[in-house]
Amino acid sequence: MTAFTVGYFVGSLARNSINRKLAHALVRLAPAELQLREIPIGELPLYSYDHDADYPPAGRALKAAIAGVDAVLFVTPEYNRSIPGALKNAIDWASRPWGQNSFARKPSATIGTSPGKIGTAVGQQHLKSILSFCNSPQMNAIEAYIEFTPGLITDDGEVTVASTAEFLANYMREFHGYITRVYTALPRTAT
Ligand X SMILES: Cc1cc2nc3c(=O)[nH]c(=O)nc-3n(C[C@H](O)[C@H](O)[C@H](O)COP(=O)(O)O)c2cc1C
- Interacting residue ranges for ligand X, rule: CB under 6 A: 12, 14, 17-19, 77-81, 114-116
Cβ 24 to ligand X, closest distance in Å? 12
> In this complex, which beta carbon is closest to ligand X, that of residue 9 or of residue 103?
9
Least distance to ligand X, CB of residue 180, Å: 29
Cβ–Cβ under 8 Å, residues 147 and 19: no
List of residues 6+ apart from 61 with CB closer than 8 A: none
| Residue 183 neighbours by CB distance under 10 Å | 18
Q: Name the residue nearer to ligand X (CB basis): 107 or 112.
A: 112
**Smallest gap, in angstroms, from Cβ of residue 98 to ligand X?**
30
> Given the complex with ligand X, which of 60 and 81 has the nearer CB atom?
81
Of the candidates 98, 174, 94, the residue with the CA atom closest to the CA atom of residue 141: 174
Nearest to ligand X of 31, 116 (CB atom): 116
If you write DSSP's letter for every residue of 80-136 in order, what string do you get? Answer: TTB--HHHHHHHHHHH-STT--TTTT--EEEEEEESSTTTTHHHHHHHHHHHHHTT-
Instruction: Report in angstroms how near the CB of residue 9 gets to ligand X at its nearest.
Output: 12
Closest to ligand X by CB, 101 or 113? 113
Strand partners for 38: 8
Contacts for 149 with CB less than 8 Å, ≥ 6 apart: 115
- In the complex, the smallest distance separating the C-beta of residue 67 from ligand X, rounded to whole angstroms, is 26
**CA–CA separation, 4 vs 112, rounded Å?**
22
Which of 101/114 has CB closer to ligand X? 114
CB of 36 to ligand X, least distance (A): 17
